[in-house]
Structure 1
Amino acid sequence: MLNSFRLSILLKALIVCLLAWKGEASSLGLTVHVVPLESDGGNTVRAHFSAITPSPCPDFSAVCAAGQDCQTHLTSTPFTGNLPAPGWCVRQWQTTVPSAYKAQLSLGSTQFNVTINAEPNIRSSTGRLNQPAYVALPPPLRAQADCPQTFQLSVKDLDGDRVQCRFAREDKGECYNCPQHSFLQLDEAKCLLTFTGKASPGQYFIDLMVEDYIPVPKSVQILENKALSSVPVQLSLTVESSTNCGTELLGTVAPQEDLLFVLPYQEVKIDVSYPLDVGSVDEFAVVGPPQLYNKRDVLKNQMTLAWIRSENNLTRLLPICFAANTKSLQSKLQCVWLYQREMTTLPTGTELKCDQTAMTLVLPLASIPNIIVDELQLNSPTCRIASNSTHLNATISLNGCGTKTVHSGSELVYTNTLRTVRPYTMVSRRPTLVLPLACRIPQVQARGPHYTVEMPSDAEVFGNVYVWIEVHQPGQGSLARYTANPRFMPNLRSLPRVRRDTGSNGSPAVATKISSRIKELDLYLMSNCSMLKVEMVVTKCVESETEDFAVSNPIMDQGCMNSNSTSEIEIGQNNSRVYRLNLESMAVKTSDVMYIMCNISLCMPTSPTGHCLFECGRAGSQSAVLDSLFSRTYTVRSGQVRLIPNPLVSPAVSPNTTTALAMAPNPAGTAQTTKNPASITAVAISHAPMTTSVTTAAILTTISVFLQKTIFY
C-alpha cells in the first residue's frame, strides 16, 4: 500500500514537471489585441493574436475550428528569424471570444495560456465602450550574462488611458508555473523590463499582464482605481555567454515619428539603418502586421519596411517592432505604430465617378462648412479645383494630378486625396479636410480592353539597372561572407542528372585525371536593382567547354536546379543569386576550361499580397505574369573560367585586369560594343579564379518580352 502511494506521488510529480517543461519551453512570445464588439454591448470581443513559435513554422489551421468566426493570416513571407537558435516564426490570426476568456491554445507542439479580462465598461466621458490597451510584440529578446540590459515595452491606448504592466499571477489563473525571476525587474508604470545580468546562459520565459486605468492627476487620490481591462503578454529572453558587453546599438529610423497615420490605400515606408562600424548584422528581426514587406541589405546594415493599407479587418493600431541581430548581440528594440485613420463616408450629395481616364468629383459646399476652398489641393498642386456658389468640381486624371495606382488583392485602385493645405507658418483653428478618393476596378470589371494597362519599360519599373555574372572560388568575391560558411537553401525539386554526349561506341568520354582540378565554384548572378520587393528570376543556366556552346549541359532549367551539382546559397537579398557548383558531380569534362551562360530577368509583384513565382517548373510562366511585372530576359555569358589553378601565379598576387567591354542593345534590337559604363543596361563579368587576367564579355540579346500589355483578370 505504501509503495502504491509513493508511486502515485512520483507519477503526479513527473506529470507536473512535464507539463511545466512543455509550457515553459514552447512560449516564445504572445500578444492579443482586443476589440470589444458594439453589436452585443461588448460581451464578446474580436481577439487579434500574434504568437511566436520555434522554427519551423507550424500549421495553425487548428486554431480556427469549423464553423467558428475565425480568420488566419497567411502571408507569402512570414516573419522569421534564426537567432536565437534554432530559430522562430510568427503566426497571426483573429477570432471572436467572450470578453472574459481563459484558454490554452496549441500551435503544433507550442502551447499558450491566454487570459483576457475585457468585460463591458462604458466610459462616462464618452458613453462608449472602453478599449483595452495595445502592446507591441517584440522579436525574441537576447541578452548577455553579466551585461545589464533594459527592454522597453511599447504600449498604446486609444482612449488615452494610463497603461501599466505587471507580472502575471498564478493565483489568479493568469499563468501556469510562472516563477518570478530574481534577475528581472519591472517598472510597472513605465512598462520597462530590466535584466540585471545575474543569470546563467539559457532561455527564460516571462508572463505579463497589461492593464489600462482611468488617468487621474497626481494631486487627486483615489482609494481604489481598478483596472478597466487586462490583456496577456508573453516574452522569451535568451541569455548567452558574455564576450564583451559593449555599448547599446541603436538604429536610425526614418521617418522619426513613432506613430504614423495611414489613409486608405496609402503606402508607408520605413527606412532603418545601423552603424557600419559595429560589425556585421547577421539578420534583421521584424514582427509586424500581415503583408508587411521588407527589403534587407545586410552588407550595408540597412532595411526598408513597407505596408500598403488595403481593405482589411485588422485593428486600428498596428505595431511594427524590429532589432538587428549579430552572432553575440542584439540592438536596442525599436517599435513604430501605424494608425489606420478612421474615415467617414463621403459627405451627403457627393458624387465620385470613374471612367477610363479620370475620376470626376462633385462636392456640395454645404457639406463642408467652414472649409476654405482656396486651401484645398490634390496630391499635385498643379491640378485645378473649380467651384461655384454651391459645389466644388474637380476632374482628376488617372495618369496625373499625383494619382497613385495600387493593387488590393485582385482589384486595381487609383487613389488621390483632397486635403486642406496651409503655409507652415500659418497657425489656425479653422477645421481642415482630408478626403481620400479611390476608383476601384473590381476583378469582374477589369476584363476588357477598357482597363488594359500598357506594360511599362524596364527603366520605368526597375530603374536604370544592369545585371552581370561572376565566377569565384568559395570564400572569394564580394559575397565571400556568405560563401565562406554557406547556408544552403532547400532544393524542393531538381533536374535529372545529365551527362555529356558519349562517343560513337556509346561509352562516355574519359577525362584526363588532374589532381589539382578545382572542385567547387560559386556562380554569382548579380544586379544593382535596389527597388523594394524586386526579385531576380533565373530561368536557365548552362555550362560548356567551348565558347560557342555547341555542346552544353544544364545547370538550371525553368528554375529547376541540377541537384547533383548545384545548390543555392542564402545571401539575404532577392535581387541577386549565388549558386555553389560541385564540379566533381557535374558532367564528365575533357577540358580544363568552361563557359557559363544564363537567362536572367527581374520581377516585381503588382499586388500587396502577390509574390513572384519562380519555383521549379514555373519560373517565368505566363500564369505568374498576371500578378507580377517582369523585365526583359537577358542572356549573360561568362568569359573563360579555368578549372586548373595557374601554378605560376601566387594566391597573394592580385591579378591584372584587361579592358572591360560590354554589349548593350540598341533600339533596333541588335548588339553594339561600348566602353561607356553609363550606357550599359546589362553587364556580364567572369572572374577566372587564380589566373593572371579577368575577361569581361556580354551578350544582351533580349530573347523575349513576357507581355506587351497586361490585362488584370
Structure 2
Amino acid sequence: MASYTLLLLLASCCGALASHHYAGVMTFTPKGKNADGSFRVDFRYKETYHTCYTTNSWFCRSGNCGTIDRFEIGQVDSNSNGANTQGNTWCQSEALMTRNIPSNTPFEMWKTGCCWIPSDSLGSWSLLTHVDLGIRSDTNEPNRSPVTTIIPFIRIPRNCPRTFNLLAHDPDNDQVRCRYGRLGSNECHTCRQHSGFALDENSCTLTYWDAFITKVNAFEIVLEDYPTQFSIQVDPSVHDCTEGNILPKFLFPTPQNGEKLIAAVGQELEIKLKATATQSWVKNFIISGPLNITKYNTIRGAVGESRIRWTPTKNDFGDHVPICFIAESQQGYRIFHSDMRCIIVIVKHKSGNASVICTETTMTVEVEKASIIGLHEDHLRLNDPSCTPTSNQTHVIATVSLGSCGTVLEEDADNLIFKNEIMSFDNVGDVITRKHQVEIDFVCCYPKKSRVYLDFQAHKIPYVFTEKAFGKFTYQFEFFHSELFNTAIDTDHYPVDVALKDVLYMQIKATSSVANTVLFVESCRATPVDDPDYHISYDIISNGCILDGTVVVYPSNSTEYRFGMEAFQFIGQHEQVFICCSVILCVAGEPGTRCSQGCTTPTPTPAPVLHHLHRRDAATQTGRHSISQGPLRLKKATETTVSNMGLNMNLVFIAAFLLVVVVIVCGAVIYTVKRPTFKYQPLPSTDF
C-alpha cells in the first residue's frame, strides 16, 4: 500500500542567504487499537530552521485525521556552520505526536510555510503525508510507513562527485521508490531536473556529478511512502577530492550505511563513530535521530570520535528507528562534510540475564532461563546447526572454541573480535521456527598482542548475503596451490607463509539460487590488517581495472574469478597482508549493470538517462559486498651470523613474550526477538 509525500531537496551555494527553512521529514507507525475501535498512530516528524522550532502546525488536508492524544518535542542536533543565514546556525528538532484515528480510511496531513533558504525561484515549502492504515493481506496488520531521516544540511565541494543514499527502509518490506514531482499533480512548484544531478528512482540515490557553478539547485521530489526534505550546499572546488585527506572519511568501528542494529527497551544503545581527515581538522559529528538521542565528541588531532547514545522507551517497542550521521572537518574558514551514513535501529524486548566468559581459546555464554519468557531450551542451536547448547536447572550454556561452531572473526587495527549466536529452530534442518523466536549474540574481544593471535588461524569461511530478487547467495574467497585451481590451501595452514615474488593464486566464487548470474570483481586491495579502509593499503584492482603489473587473470566461468599476482610486503613493521575485494552479482546479459560496464575510468562522466521502472520490477544487480581472505605472512630470511648478544636478547624477548597473559577486553551478549535481517553469516561447510 502506498503512502507518499512531496520531497523538496535543496542544493545551494555559499553566499548571502536570507531565509530559514532547511529540512523536514515525517513518518508514522500504527500502535494498535483503542477500546472504542479507533486506531492509535504515532507520527514522528523533524524540522530544521535557523532556530529550534517547538510548535505543531500540521493540519488535516483531506479525510479524517483524528485527534491529538499526545505531543512532545525536543532538540536533536544543532550546528553553527549553516548556510550563512540568520546567524549561520541551524537547529533540528523532533516531535512525537500520537493521534487517535477513527477508521483506517486514507487521509492526508499537510504543512506549509515560507521560506526556504533561497533557491532559484522556489520560496515557499510544503510537506505532504498520505496515510493509508488499510489492513495488509500479507501481515493482517495495518500498513506501516517506511522510516527515514536525513542530515538537514550537507556540504559538497563543486568538483567532488558524491552519491546521496536517501534512507528508505520499509518495516513491511515494501519497495520504496523516489521520483520527481509532477507539475500537473500539484506536486511541485517548478519541477526542475537539474543538470549535474541524476536520481535513481528504484534505489533512491541522488548522484551529484558537477553543478558547473556554485549556485542554489532546488529539487522537488516525491518519495512514495514518506516525506523528507533537506539542503545541500555546493561549495567552491577543492584541489583533492580523496576522502580522508581534506574531506573526512569514516573509519572502523563506524557502522556501515544501511546496517541494522538491535536495541532493547530501557537499555542504553551506544553507537561509536570514528573519522579522519589528514589535511583538515575533524571537529564535529552531525546526527539526525530520535528524540532524546545524545552525542559525545572526542577530537584527537586528525582523528575524531563520537559516541551516540539513546535509550528506547516502552513506546518505542517494535519501532524501526532511523539514525543518520556525517563527520565535519575544518581547514581555515572552509567546512567539509564526509559521506552520509544511515542505519536502522530495531527496538526489541529487554535483554535476558546472561554473561560471557572469554578465555584464551574458548567463549562461554550462560543465559538465565527465567529471564527469557517462552525459551525452548531443546530447540536452540549456534551458527553451525550441528552445535547445540547444554542446560542445567537454571541456565542455558554454550561453550565454543574460537575456530568452531560457525564463530565469525572480525578485526580492527587493535583487536580480534569473535562472534557467535544462539538461535531457535523447530526441527533439525528447519530454516524457520514457530516457537518463541530468540537470537542471543555473544562476543569476545582480544588485543592482537596477546597469544590468541598466534594460536588462531584466521581463515575466512564463505560469506552469506540475502537481498531482494537474488535471495541468499554466497561468496567464497580462497588461495590455491597452483594455476590449475584444483587444490585450495588447507585452512590449517593459515596464515599462509609466502616468499617475496611467489605467485599467489586466488579464486572468488559466487553461488546463488538465481540462475543466469555473473560475478564482477570491482576492486581488490591489500592491507596489513583485515580492514579495506585501513589507512595503509595497496590497490590491485580499482573500478574493474587491473592496476598491479604482475596480475594474471585465468580462465573461469561466469560465477568465478581466478587471478594471480606476485607476493610483496608492506614497507615498515607489518608482518601480514590481507586481500580485500568488493564484489557484485548481476543478472547475466542485462545492459546497464555494473558487471556489463567492466573497467571504467574514475573520471566523472555524465550519468546515464534513468528510465522509469515499475515499482515491482526485479533488481538486476546486488549491492557491493566486501570480502577478504588472509593473512599472508612473509617468510623470514635465514640469518647466517648471529652475535651472542643478539641471541641472548632474542631469547629474553621470546621468554618475555611467552609470559604474556591474554587480557580479555570485552565480553558482550545481546538477546533479541529474532526477525529476518540483511546481514552476512558463515555458511556451514556441509552446504558445499
Q: TM-score range by the shorter chain?
A: 0.3 to 0.5
| Higher strand residue share | 2
Larger Rg: 1
TM-score, with length taken from structure 1: 0.41
TM-score, with length taken from structure 2: 0.43
Which is bigger in relative contact order (C-alpha 8 A, separation at least 6)?
Answer: 2
